[in-house]
A and B are shown apart, each in its own frame.
Chain A
Amino acid sequence: MDAATWGLVIATFVACFVEMVEATTIVMAMGYTRSWKSALAGTFAALGALAVVTVFAGYALATWLPESALQLAIGGLLLIFGLQWLRKAILRSSGRKAVHDEDKIYQEEVAAAKAAGESKGSLDMFSFMVSFKGVFLEGMEVVFIVITFGLNANNIPGASAGAVAAVVIVLTVAVVLRRPLSMINENLLKYGVGLLLASFGTYWAVEGIGIFQAGRESLDWPGHDLMILVLLAAWLVLSRIFVAVLKVPAATPAPVGTPVEVEK
C-alpha cells in the first residue's frame, strides 16, 4: 500500500471511529434503560437506510459529475466540515468551549429514556426512533467521508476498509466493556480528523476550481499528492498558534458570551 492509500485508510478510520463512539453511546443508553430489541432494531434499520443512501449517492456522484466538478463540490463540503471540527477543537483546546463528554451524554440519554414512559406493543418506539436517528445521523457523516475520500482518491475499497475496521473495533470494545466508551480521548481524535479533513478538503477544493477553466481541467498542485502532507503540517501549525493565542488562563473562567455546551 502506498502513502496516499495509507493516508486515506487512516483518515476514514479515525473519522468513522469518532462517529461510531457517539452512535454507540446513544444505542447503549436505549438498550440498557429500555429495550435492547428495539434499540438494535432501530440500529439495523438505520444501517439499511445508510446502505441504500451510500449506493445511490456514490453511483450518482461518480456517474454524473466530471472529475474537477467532483473535486470542487466534494472538496468544498469536506473543507467546510473539516474546518468546523477544527474550529471546535481549537476552541476546546484553548479553554473557550466545553469538552465533549461521552459520560454526560450517556446520562442525559438515560434520563430522557426513563422520562419517556412505558411503551405499549412489542416494539418500544422510543428506543427504536432514538437509536435509528442516532445511528443514521452519525452514519451519514461517515458515509459522506467514505464516499468523498473514496471517489476523489479513486479508491472506494480503501476508504471503506478504514470505516469497516473502525466499526468492528468500536463494537468489539463496546460489547466487551458494556459501558460508554468515555475513556477514549474523543476530543483529540476529533482534532486529528479536523486536520485531515481540512487538508484533503483544501487540496481538492482548490484543484476543482479548474472546472471553470476553458479545458475544465483540475488545477495542479506543485508536488501533487505530497502537497497534502504540507497542507496537513500547515493546518497543524496554524491550529497550535490559534490555541496558544486564544488560550484562556486556567484560573479565569471563559469570557461571558462564549459558547459552552455539551455537544451531542
Chain B
Amino acid sequence: MKFLKSFGQFWYDFIIGDDWKIGVAVLTALVVLFVAMKAELFGDTGLTLLGGAAVVVAFAISLAIDVRPKKR
C-alpha cells in the first residue's frame, strides 16, 4: 500500500509538479490537434504545424496565468 502511494505520488509530482497548468496546456493543445485531424482540416504538414503552434500558445497562456498580478 505504501509502495502504491509512493508510486502514485511520483507520477503526480511528475505530471502535475509545481504547476498543474502545464499538464492542462499540453492536453488542451493535443485535443485541439485531435479535433482538427478528425475534422480533416489539413494534411499532415498543416496538422503538425498546427500542433506545434497549439503547444506554444497553450504554454504561453499557462505562463501568463502563472505570473499575473495576484489580487489582495
Q: Which residues of A does B touch, CB under 8 Å? A: 72, 76-77, 79-81, 83-84, 86-88, 90-91, 96, 137, 140-141, 144, 202, 205-207, 209-210, 212-213, 219-222, 227, 231, 234-235, 238, 242, 246, 255-259
The secondary structure that dominates the B interface is helix
A sample of 12 cross-chain residue pairs with beta-carbon separation below 8 angstroms, ordered by A number, consists of A77-B14, A80-B17, A80-B23, A84-B18, A87-B19, A90-B63, A202-B52, A206-B30, A212-B37, A221-B44, A222-B49, A234-B52
Tell whether A83 pairs with B26 under 8 Å between CB atoms, given A220-B44, A222-B45, A246-B67.
Answer: yes
Q: How far is the CA of A27 from the CA of B52 in the complex (A)?
A: 40
The secondary structure that dominates the A interface is helix
CB neighbours (8 Å) of B66 from chain A are 87, 91
Seed contacts A206-B30, A256-B70; 11 additional CB < 8 Å A-B pairs: A72-B30, A76-B30, A83-B25, A96-B67, A205-B30, A209-B37, A219-B48, A221-B44, A221-B45, A235-B56, A238-B60
Q: How large is the interface on B (under 10, 10 to 19, 20 to 34, 35 or more residues)?
A: 20 to 34
Residue of B nearest to A234 (CB): B56
* B:7-62 near A, CB below 8 Å: 10, 14-15, 17-19, 22-23, 25-27, 30, 33-34, 37-38, 44-45, 47-49, 51-52, 55-56, 59-60, 62
